[in-house]
Structure 1
Amino acid sequence: MHETGLCDAIVQAILHRAEGRRVTSVRVRVGGHVGGHEIDPAVIDQGFRVAAAGTPAQDADVEVVIEPLSVRCRGCSREAPAVDASTLVACPRCGGVDIEVNGGTEVHLEMIVFEPTEGKPAKACALSHGFEDLFVGERRVHSHSHSGAQTCGRGDDGGAT
């Protein structure tokens, strides 16, 4: 199953940031067509549970946000969600075949929340400073957050505290 490898990579990226701390929740944005087939959030959640078993992330709440596949016609500039295979071949507005596929194929680890320790409140680790590619096995997982989010640093721009 494709999702198993994907979930393994997500958990490894989380554990890389956690540095042994217990993880209470995570938010992952997954393209709806990663690996060329439609992704089911329930399967991602179940795969995460299996991959995280016995780790500091095993009891984490997982929010899976599905990023839909979208297309843009270079001829008429129409942008729309890819609702079926025909929209990947020709533009429904103008019939043009110069179609650009956007989104829906990436994985972003957007947020990790750690359990409070030693009287400190829970800390949300929103991974900022753009994208950081984490290579785990053959999978690539992007750690990312929206601007303005709190950054967790190990003394550099890429880590968690």
Structure 2
Amino acid sequence: MLLTGARTEELPGATLKELDGGIVCLDLTETAKKTAAGARLVPILPALRRTGFLAWARERLASGGVLFRGEGCPSDWAQWSGRYLGALGVTDQLHTPYSLRHNFRIMLREANLNSDVANKVFGHEGEGAGRHYARVLLTAKEAAVVIREVKPPMDLSHLYVRGA
């Protein structure tokens, strides 16, 4: 959630989509239903790629599986993720799955992205004139900028898989 900004209920059923130039995105176009802008593509950031996420995701999808599943999908995911963080010793209410999503929004802001691009990635409707028109997904060029500019707020190297 920290590196995608996905809501817990958007993850079950999410898939991958490859854009021009080999840019891979988390595809939330079918699972994000909270708002019209929620249906979106989120580029897989280098930090997430180095955790082995992309290889893991491709393997799961190739075997006919889904990326994320669970009992009561998707409604149980918020509870499951909260229990998981609690089991890790994360008990501060400022460190919930939802707060991780908002940390991602801060990462987008600190990258000084064009607000339209940041809104496309985050799934918020912007304040510009385009908010009244049909939803346009992130382009490969915009995704490349996100991948280049958005950085995690802390060192995540302890999560990286060698060679990933």
Higher helix proportion = 2
Shorter chain as denominator, the TM-score bin is under 0.3
User: What TM-score comes out, normalization by structure 1 length?
Assistant: 0.25
Higher strand proportion = 1
Instruction: Give 1 or 2 for the bigger CA radius of gyration.
Output: 1
